[in-house]
Structure 1
Amino acid sequence: MSTDLHTWGTTAELVGRELDLVAVQGRLQDHSARLITLTGAGGVGKSRLAAEAARRTAGLFPGGVHPLDLPACADLETALKHIDQIVAGTTRRTLLLLDGVEHVAAELAPVLAGHLTAAPALTVLATGQEVLRIYGEQVVPVPPLPTPGPLLAPDVADVQDNPAVRLLTGCAHAANPAFALTAENVEAVVDICNLLEGVPLVLELAARRLRLYPAQELRAWLQRGGDSHLPGPVDVPPRQRSTPAIAEWSCRGLSQGQRALLARLALFRHGLTLATAEKVSPLDAGETAVALEALLDRHLLTLEENPRTDSRLTMSRTLRAWGLALLDAAGAAQAAAARQAHARYYQKLLHTLEGRFQGSEQQRWLRAAAAEHDNVLAALHHLKDEHERRTAARGRLPDRDRPAALLERAALICASLYPWLIRGELTEGLRWFDSTERALQDEGAEDGEEHGERLRARARLCAGAGVLAAALGDHDGAAHRQRRALDMYQRLRDPGPAALASARRGHALFRCGDRAAGQALLSAARTTLNVQGDTAGSAEAATALADVLLAGGESEPARALLERAERIQRQHGAIRDLARTLSTTARLHLHTGDEAAARAALRESIGLYESIDERTELPAVLDLFALLLVRTAGQPQRATRLLAAAEALRSRTGATTTGADRDLLQATVSELRRQLGATLYATARAEGLRLRPEAMAGEALATAEPGRAEERGEAGALTPRQLQVALLVADGLTNRQIAHQLDIAEWTVVNHVRHVMRKLGCNSRVQVAWAVGRRQ
């Protein structure tokens, strides 16, 4: 039915839509734009945006602005009669505002096309989750609001202008005048905005809860799935009164096959590739292609492009919750079978990818595995539930079926070791490795035997747990786990993995303070690995042994080991191992006084870590680079930022520094605080803590060469955002492309570029590329 424009779509202030509003107004000002359709997922604010644009341009339509809420009409025939009455006799420019065309688009389109042909003065502004497909239709996508994204140490000043944060905090303040964004709740607010994916209506519904709960409690409730039934106000259309209502309205009219596919895809957290969707679909290939196109057309799925890996189909949390409920409603057996198929798919996928984590295309496969992290966790939880179900039914299952779910879980966990190390998922990964190894041990104790398959799975789990413990800084725990793995491999008479476990145990013992025992184990293990032909393992042991020798001042033997390890790792394309070897080589150069060589090795090491999005070992290299800056380049502010960035990244991964490394860092921090003074040090540290992981390598690689620090000027140091912009300029992106990538306005980019050029003393974008170290 027709409604008053001044009350239509105005449940809250329009936030974060400034550029979208300008774009829609521009089209309404263009007399040749006869049909404009705002399209997007449910709850993104299409109606509100259309209403505001119509209000602001109402003076351009002497024939009036006529809003019509299609879902509020009794039926399509009633809606068409309203449209006929509005259009009849139109001679002056008139705007017909149609809200909610998605479920009547097929029937409405021919009628509307006829009106547009017959009435040249008519302009139509429509909103809907799907387009009308009329010739000349101008489609304006309306995405969710930009979210802050993952931040290691969010600061109020950094996020208060983010559109999602502004909307949430504004609505929260309206519901509870005592609410304000503070240093105490900013992290929870950022997490809530990220969790709810910037969908305005869902953010508004969640904000109402902040009158009852602190932000930290609301975050925990949402993480447990509370947003699947968020209630809303009663004075809005029924389709907007709760999150289930949003999902139900969005999915109205789907065929049985489309619903079945949507339910199956809801099992995938943070999306899946098109190829995966085709493999897990309950429909045949032709039906799947049609159904996927229909779901994409209606914005129930979104295809997100990523230049570094495959595009992914994603689904909002609201729709995922609805799809999972739909799956469960189909029956326990069918839901369990779907979850089992999901788990089996990831077992097979990670087993396939595990062999591709080294070599020329490892960046691609590591990113592919990283993108599937949440899906792997979902598969693991299902396999755990399956094991518990089988344990409860032990008396009714054949003996051979008892450990199956546990062994499947162990295989998936072991295949996930390298991606978890890269991502810095250390604590959670260690928990899975340890708990599964204990469960297998208990299973063997109950059976009274330890067959080879189970023992080998336990050995792999112990060895992987040892690697994760070492990455966390728990070297005593690492040595203990590698000792157990070694014992099991010896029982299996498998000398290669046994020698690698022994080498890793030796390095852990060295880190615990027993240098003699560590050196002896590493030397023996390296010899065995050479005999076994395990060149990759031998190179890893050589780098670790060089680390031990450097601690004893034996530079030349360490140099020979590092050169051989580097040669092998370059041949094999072992990026992460090579980066570690180069960082050890840099320490050797610093020990011998060759600071230029140390700088070159560290720059390459950081670049390699950046190429695979490494998070676990990057902090140690950033620390070493900061120490080099303090020693050679006279850039105390940048060194402070790097040390703070490394600290923030460690806080996310759970890793710690130990022994002499910790003492050296503390001494360096004291010296930097003395050089800079309390205020300047605190400012530089805060900037470092707020650096995103993807910007940390850029901050290090943008450092001036020795002797150029004055020329570049610490006083004119770039802020983290300016550094991001400078690096993108150096990569050849236009201002518009940078604005799109960073989710900021184009005029903001222009302003940042001006500041960057002034601070760096550059007159052109080419000079910026040189200044930030992106020389070709």
Structure 2
Amino acid sequence: MPHNLPSIYNPFLGRQAIQQIIHVCLDQPRCKPVILVGSGGIGKTRLATVVARNRLHLYPDGVWLVNLTDIASDAVYESDGIANAIASVLDLPYREGVSSVEQLLAHLEDRALLLLLDGFEHLSKEGEALLSRIWLRCPDVHLLVTSRRVLDERIGHMFVLYGLGCSKGEEGDGALAVSLFEERRAQYQWMPLSEEERRVVYRICSMVEGMPLAIELAAGLTVKRTVQEIAIQMASDFYMLESSLWDVPVRHRSLQAVFESSWCRLSVELQGCLARLAVFSDDFTAVSAEQVAQTTRQQLAALQKHSLLAFNKLTGLWHMHPIVRFFAERALDG
């Protein structure tokens, strides 16, 4: 079947349960858009690509990856920008006198294909409305969307991703995270890890709470450093986690770049809240947030919507990822 999915050079580890759930959703008649939400570097695009590749045989008109990260957020022209990006990937000719959106819908309404829309977080309600229009008018077009921002829950099925070994249904002992580090390290080092080194790698994976991108960046540093050296520096410096490899997208070449792309989409008010909340070295209550960091419940919810905070319903506590905390502490000073 036709597609433009990237080649897979590395095996995909874990996420078996969520993969099955996504397939079940997409197999339903008139399936609403499936939306994968999570912080930058958590593995949304990779998971979506794996799911899409495993469904190639189901779509006679193909599976198509559309990168939305460069589309300007503009309530007036945003839907046209998205439509043009999709049309470009599908190689659709442009007809004057007809809107880009209408041309796209007319083309899609009798097609059977999967669109993987990657990087939706910066787009507005106008963009979200286009998702609903495609779903309503094009019954055999399935939408798989990735976003750092939580979208309107009425649009489709929303799944929030966490680090390997940190989400319900994943291996809680960190085995997947360590396996990911080992697999990526093997590209640079042929000697297997010793038991002592594996314990250090577990500590490295715990420092970043199983975030796949952080683990891969750390594994890449083993070209010139021991895992012990990496762990010692990581304890106080996440700036070190970066890569200069040509095949790594610019937005994923460092944890700093990942954070800054989320930071710049916050209002000045929310930037201040996030920076003040970084004072908490552990989980905190909404009351503490208001008293210590002058942050309201509504502001906490807004930061959660941007995948910069998480809320534990069982404990009633808010959680900030250590990587977010590290860069948020320094963001205002920078």
Give the Cα separation in 2 of the matches to 1:11 and 1:69: 20
Please state whether the residue corresponding to 1:174 is helix, strand or coil. Answer: coil
Per-residue CA deviation, residues 624-646 of structure 1 (Å, 9 max, x unaligned), is xxxxxxxxxxxxxxxxxxxxxxx
Length-normalised TM-score, structure 2: 0.84
The answer to whether the 8 Å contact 1:105/1:131 transfers is no
Give the Cα separation in 2 of the matches to 1:199 and 1:206: 11
Give the Cα separation in 2 of the matches to 1:134 and 1:183: 45
Give the corresponding residue for 2:326: 321
Per-residue CA deviation, residues 509-556 of structure 1 (Å, 9 max, x unaligned), is xxxxxxxxxxxxxxxxxxxxxxxxxxxxxxxxxxxxxxxxxxxxxxxx
Deviation for aligned residue 1:207: 0.6
Deviation for aligned residue 1:127: 0.6
Alignment of 1:400-415 (within 5 A): none
Q: Residue type of the partner of 2:298?
A: V
Give the corresponding residue for 1:100: 119
Q: Residue type of the partner of 1:80?
A: A
Per-residue CA deviation, residues 673-721 of structure 1 (Å, 9 max, x unaligned), is xxxxxxxxxxxxxxxxxxxxxxxxxxxxxxxxxxxxxxxxxxxxxxxxx
| 1:265 pairs with 2:277 | yes
Please state whether the residue corresponding to 1:38 is helix, strand or coil. Answer: strand
Deviation for aligned residue 1:192: 0.8
Deviation for aligned residue 1:317: 2.0
Deviation for aligned residue 1:99: 0.5
Q: Residue type of the partner of 1:64?
A: G
Match of 1:127 among 146, 151, 154: 146
Give the Cα separation in 2 of the matches to 1:268 and 1:145: 24
Give the corresponding residue for 1:88: 106
Deviation for aligned residue 1:97: 0.9
Give the Cα separation in 2 of the matches to 1:244 and 1:82: 28
Deviation for aligned residue 1:11: 6.6
Give the corresponding residue for 1:62: 60
Give the corresponding residue for 2:259: 247
Give the Cα separation in 2 of the matches to 1:236 and 1:87: 33
| 1:48 pairs with 2:46 | yes
RMSD: 2.3
Deviation for aligned residue 1:164: 0.4
| 1:115 pairs with 2:98 | no
The answer to whether the 8 Å contact 1:228/1:318 transfers is no
Alpha carbons of 1:258 and 1:74: their partners in 2 closer, same or farther (altered >3 Å)? closer
Alpha carbons of 1:242 and 1:251: their partners in 2 closer, same or farther (altered >3 Å)? same
Give the Cα separation in 1 of the matches to 2:254 and 2:26: 32
Please state whether the residue corresponding to 2:111 is helix, strand or coil. Answer: coil
Deviation for aligned residue 1:18: 1.8
| 1:228 pairs with 2:231 | no
Alpha carbons of 1:293 and 1:74: their partners in 2 closer, same or farther (altered >3 Å)? closer
Please state whether the residue corresponding to 2:164 is helix, strand or coil. Answer: coil
| 1:79 pairs with 2:90 | no
Alignment of 1:363-442 (within 5 A): none
Please state whether the residue corresponding to 2:195 is helix, strand or coil. Answer: coil
Match of 2:16 among 8, 15, 18: 18
Alignment of 1:565-644 (within 5 A): none
The answer to whether the 8 Å contact 1:260/1:282 transfers is no
Please state whether the residue corresponding to 1:13 is helix, strand or coil. Answer: coil
The answer to whether the 8 Å contact 1:69/1:98 transfers is yes
Alignment of 1:154-169 (within 5 A): 162-169=175-182
Report which of the two structures shows the higher radius of gyration computed on alpha carbons: 1
Q: Residue type of the partner of 1:173?
A: A
Deviation for aligned residue 1:301: 0.2
Please state whether the residue corresponding to 2:120 is helix, strand or coil. Answer: coil
Give the corresponding residue for 1:188: 200
The answer to whether the 8 Å contact 1:16/1:145 transfers is yes
Alpha carbons of 1:11 and 1:37: their partners in 2 closer, same or farther (altered >3 Å)? farther
Match of 2:216 among 177, 196, 204: 204
Give the corresponding residue for 1:238: 250
Deviation for aligned residue 1:87: 4.3
Deviation for aligned residue 1:162: 0.9
Highest RCO, 1 vs 2 (Cα 8 Å, sep ≥ 6): 2
Alpha carbons of 1:128 and 1:136: their partners in 2 closer, same or farther (altered >3 Å)? closer
Give the Cα separation in 2 of the matches to 1:56 and 1:230: 31
Per-residue CA deviation, residues 571-625 of structure 1 (Å, 9 max, x unaligned), is xxxxxxxxxxxxxxxxxxxxxxxxxxxxxxxxxxxxxxxxxxxxxxxxxxxxxxx
Give the corresponding residue for 1:6: 6
Give the Cα separation in 1 of the matches to 2:71 and 2:155: 27
Give the Cα separation in 2 of the matches to 1:72 and 1:48: 19
| 1:299 pairs with 2:307 | yes
Give the Cα separation in 2 of the matches to 1:205 and 1:120: 41
Deviation for aligned residue 1:189: 1.2
Per-residue CA deviation, residues 361-410 of structure 1 (Å, 9 max, x unaligned), is xxxxxxxxxxxxxxxxxxxxxxxxxxxxxxxxxxxxxxxxxxxxxxxxxx
1 or 2, which has the higher helix percentage? Answer: 1
Deviation for aligned residue 1:271: 2.4
The answer to whether the 8 Å contact 1:258/1:291 transfers is yes
The answer to whether the 8 Å contact 1:29/1:57 transfers is no
The answer to whether the 8 Å contact 1:113/1:134 transfers is no
Deviation for aligned residue 1:136: 4.8
Deviation for aligned residue 1:321: 1.7
Deviation for aligned residue 1:294: 1.0
Q: Residue type of the partner of 1:5?
A: L
Alpha carbons of 1:18 and 1:322: their partners in 2 closer, same or farther (altered >3 Å)? same
Alpha carbons of 1:274 and 1:289: their partners in 2 closer, same or farther (altered >3 Å)? closer
1 or 2, which has the higher strand percentage? Answer: 2
| 1:312 pairs with 2:317 | yes
Give the Cα separation in 1 of the matches to 2:155 and 2:148: 18
The answer to whether the 8 Å contact 1:28/1:57 transfers is no
Give the corresponding residue for 1:477: none
The answer to whether the 8 Å contact 2:82/2:127 transfers is no
Q: Residue type of the partner of 2:239?
A: S
Per-residue CA deviation, residues 288-309 of structure 1 (Å, 9 max, x unaligned), is 2322111111111011244xxx
Alignment size in residue pairs: 305
Larger CA deviation: 94-103 vs 319-328: 319-328
Match of 1:37 among 30, 35, 38: 35
Match of 1:174 among 173, 178, 187: 187
Q: Residue type of the partner of 1:217?
A: E
Q: Residue type of the partner of 2:4?
A: D
Alpha carbons of 1:228 and 1:320: their partners in 2 closer, same or farther (altered >3 Å)? farther
Alpha carbons of 1:290 and 1:185: their partners in 2 closer, same or farther (altered >3 Å)? same
The answer to whether the 8 Å contact 2:4/2:63 transfers is no
Give the Cα separation in 1 of the matches to 2:9 and 2:36: 18
Give the corresponding residue for 1:256: 268
The answer to whether the 8 Å contact 2:68/2:85 transfers is no
Q: Residue type of the partner of 2:195?
A: A
Alpha carbons of 1:95 and 1:165: their partners in 2 closer, same or farther (altered >3 Å)? same
Identity of aligned residues (%): 30
Give the Cα separation in 1 of the matches to 2:70 and 2:217: 22
Give the Cα separation in 2 of the matches to 1:276 and 1:134: 29
Deviation for aligned residue 1:73: 4.5
Give the corresponding residue for 2:165: 146
Deviation for aligned residue 1:249: 1.3
| 1:275 pairs with 2:287 | yes
Give the Cα separation in 2 of the matches to 1:168 and 1:212: 15
Alpha carbons of 1:234 and 1:265: their partners in 2 closer, same or farther (altered >3 Å)? farther
Give the corresponding residue for 2:25: 27
